[in-house]
Structure 1
């Protein structure tokens, strides 16, 4: 999508600021909340900052089960933290790392990692079945958080839980301890950089103020009912992506490429990450070969058709939650360190403003997306005059061959006549957001 240069100038100028939000939003997604004057807030603070997530959930479960919105929210945030903690520990157990070959740097446009070795020097052997279990466990944990976040978004509830998300502690390696290096801030430091555009912490009173010492940026966010729904939407996005993976058999891809992610875990190609010379050097040539093998195996049989068929409804649940989120935001009368501000509220991120035109354009975009998910508006395919029926694909596909879908052969069963989404379908979003549309979409959810 693209708008005219004139319409892009204002929104485009904010794109860089919106990108800075990504890190803090990752923090909000990966981990919980913090202190409040309420008892719930105090429980969250003590357990979140100590890394005692299970104890905190036990203290809040009665209120959650009774449907108390703030308790639902607090329990969900701790559950979200526990979900990512469990995933991190599983990945550590199996020695996960980021592929850092010259080939990956060249072909994927990423920075070169000189020594991509796992943090765990003695990982366990990983089977395909074990990896599916890791993904399935994470999916189930996220689903529990998602359901309770919706309870926390009760429109009749009024709470604000201020939280310094970067101070949260999580046991990444499963050793039963949470060290100073296992805070979310330390983990995300390379991504976050310095929050230069965030307002500083409140000034000290005159008696305690230190001359010449600048106040540090304050990464506290005031979480409220709107943010509970925002998080319900984002956890729903995570869950449906995991469902999409689990609906398919990806064992061939696992065998062909994932030794690059789990280099010491006993995968079939583990001992062949460096081969002979072919084009560049042994490391690069083997890396290129593995990338080609990965592309060749992007052909996944569907093994859970009902799960795949559930994806359109799950996508529509995301758009419904986004509408609910904006209903709550627009009804707010406060301005308390908002994660996602309304047009009359202040942004924590400087130039990344939100105005009424953007909100209206986003709501219109949600309506267009629902038409796509319902199969009423078709997805354009570069090769065909007909459109691609996304709903029909999810409901009837026997396999997902990404290469054949892209080239066209795999798309044939899902082509049909009808209206096709184009730039005009998203004209309001193009005008309101310009080149920053996708950055704002990530922020708005």
Structure 2
């Protein structure tokens, strides 16, 4: 359960604190104590009065509230990482780790109930974005210093944020947290304090949309059959239809648990055909994606205008990188901006996505604006892609030549870092 919570929160949680205004000065202590959410009204009032740091605080508090709400819903319904028994090793997934929910008495979960959880999550992300965008509208050179790994959250809804509910503890099973060395050679945690400023408000705003887009894509569809067939693997005691049959009575190929797991994965693939039930929401996903590139451009405009060098989340070529071995050069910035140009062409439909089966390219706007269903298997094999094929230039390696040359095999890290 700890890993599930940590990974979910990692998608939307990161640091922020202020040091100049009175509310900014108290924000770190509130975050470390897990009590910042109780002060939202005070920060919202100060934001309305023109305090950029308070607006950043509102965005951060709304982000925490969203993360807590999602985490508490997972806990309430007994979410766990899907268990992968012997079949996992056979399929090359790795060593099987059966994760148990920390909730001893999970509540039942319905399809409509899960949709509401996801809808609340998206709504919370959009609410948080508003605060971050407002903070960036002010011409204030604020810096908010905080160690994100010390921020506490109420993950299980018991009304308290304990020492065990920090991002550091949640992520320790998922990633290797940075460690340093003392003068006598002992291992010690490195300083993970980061200084957040106006540019980073735009970074946060972009990440809310990156996180919301795939959830909104799912919510635009009817995925009830998939829910019934497979999600008891995530919510094993929430009363889903196949809950009592994860371990079959007999065997087909291996052991009962492995056969049950394989059967559920086949069922998941078979039900991965989702009718579109909200075409406006589907089209809105494309707008979210376009807003991400627009916010990234604004983010870099603000980064390049900075004259300080205060523990930057994303540094300019003139600033110090906190990421070992990953200094940001002007060549990297130029390659990123060229990559954004290419992505914008794809999102506009001026550049098409290649499909292995066709000479024509796949138009993203055609899909998001006209699709009536999303059948993942038929899209991949070809027939489902036919309505969205168009004549025109198709993206290839040359379309991303600058990024390929500069980022190389490290491109996923730059995408996560730069947003």
Of 161, 165, 179, which aligns to 1:182?
Answer: 165
Match of 1:242 in 2: 215
Distance 2:275 2:170 in 1: 36
Q: What's 1:271 paired with?
A: 244
TM alignment of 1:229-308, pairs within 5 A: 229-275=202-248, 276-308=250-282
- Report the Cα distance in structure 2 between the residues aligned to 1:106 and 1:33, rounded to whole angstroms: 43
Q: Are 1:317 and 2:300 matched, yes or no?
A: no
Is the alpha carbon distance of 1:282 and 1:384 closer, same or farther for their aligned partners in structure 2, counting shifts above 3 Å?
A: same
Q: For 1:242, what is the secondary structure of its paired residue?
A: helix
Q: 1:362 to 1:212 in 2, by over 3 A?
A: closer
Contact 1:142 1:239 survives alignment (8 Å): yes
Contact 1:221–1:337 under 8 Å retained in 2 = yes
> Which residue among 121, 125, 136 is the counterpart of 2:119?
136
1:417 equivalenced with 2:391 (yes/no): yes
Which stretch shifts more, 241-250 or 123-132?
Answer: 241-250
Aligned length: 412
Distance change in 2, residues 1:251/1:67 (3 Å): farther
Q: Which residue, 86, 89, 109 being the options, matches 2:93? A: 109
User: 2:351 aligns to what?
Assistant: 377
How far 1:308 sits from its partner (Å)?
0.6
Aligned partners of 1:426 and 1:35: how far apart in 2?
Answer: 38
Deviation at 1:222?
0.3
Kept in 1, the 8 Å contact 2:213–2:285? The answer is: yes
Gaps of 5+ in 2: 1-5
Partner residue, 2:319 = 345
Q: Does residue 49 in structure 1 map to residue 42 in structure 2? A: no
Contact 1:72–1:148 (CA under 8 A) maintained in structure 2: yes
Out of 437, 440, 444, the residue aligned to residue 411 of structure 2 is 437
Q: Structure 2: how far apart are the matches of 1:24 and 1:308?
A: 25
CA 1:292–1:72: 2 relative to 1, 3 Å: same
Aligned partners of 2:304 and 2:376: how far apart in 1?
Answer: 40
Q: 1:92 to 1:26 in 2, by over 3 A?
A: closer
Deviation at 1:283, TM superposition (A): 0.4
Higher relative contact order (CA 8 A, sep 6+): 1
- Name the SS of the counterpart of 1:89 in structure 2: helix
The answer (yes or no) to whether the contact 2:339–2:403 under 8 Å persists in 1 is yes
How far, CA to CA, are the matches of 2:175 and 2:17 in structure 1?
19
Counterparts in 2 of 1:199-218, with a 5 A limit?
216-218=189-191
Give the superposition deviation at 1:330: 0.6
TM-score w.r.t. length of structure 2: 0.93
C-alpha distance in 1, partners of 2:341/2:8? 24
Change over 3 Å in CA distance of 1:24–1:255 after alignment to 2: closer
SS in 2 for 1:169: coil
The one-character-per-residue Cα deviations of 1:398-426 (angstroms, maximum 9, x if unpaired) are: 00001000000100011111100000000
SS at match of 2:327: coil
Which residue is 1:365 aligned to?
Answer: 339
For the 8 Å contact 2:355–2:362, the answer to whether it is kept is: yes
Indicate the SS of the match to 1:162. strand
Matches within 5 A, 1:18-167: 29-34=12-17, 36-102=19-85, 103-104=87-88, 106-107=90-91, 109-113=93-97, 115-154=98-137, 156-167=139-150
Mapped pair 1:226 → 2:226: no
Once the 2 structures are TM-superposed, how far is the Cα of residue 59 of structure 1 from its aligned partner?
1.9
Cα distance between partner residues in 2 of 1:37 and 1:214: 34
8 Å contact kept, 1:101–1:112: yes
Partner secondary structure for residue 29 of structure 1: coil
Q: Distance in 2 between matches of 1:101 and 1:333?
A: 51
Quote the offset at 1:58 in angstroms. 1.9
Q: CA deviation at 1:101?
A: 1.8
Q: 1:193 aligns with which of 170, 176, 180?
A: 176
Verify the 8 A CA contact 2:286 2:347 in the aligned structure 1.
Answer: yes
Helix, strand or coil: the match of 2:139? coil
**Residues 27 and 165 of structure 1 are in contact (CA less than 8 Å); yes or no, is this contact kept in structure 2?**
no
Asked whether the equivalents of residues 12 and 211 of structure 2 are also in contact (C-alpha less than 8 Å), the reply is no
Q: 1:53 and 1:104, CA in 2 relative to 1: closer, same or farther beyond 3 A?
A: farther
Partner of 2:401: 427
Q: Which digits, 9 at most, give the CA deviation of each residue in 1:279-324, with x for residues without a partner?
A: 0110000100000100111100000001111222221110000000
What CA distance in whole angstroms lies between the structure 2 residues aligned with 1:253 and 1:321? 34
The answer as to whether partners of 1:372 and 1:378 remain within 8 angstroms in 2 is: yes
What secondary structure does 1:222 align onto? strand
Aligned-residue offset at 1:192:
3.7
Q: CA deviation at 1:28?
A: 8.6
Q: What's the CA shift for 1:37? A: 4.8
Question: Following TM superposition, by how much is the alpha carbon of 1:66 offset from its aligned partner in structure 2, in angstroms?
Answer: 3.0
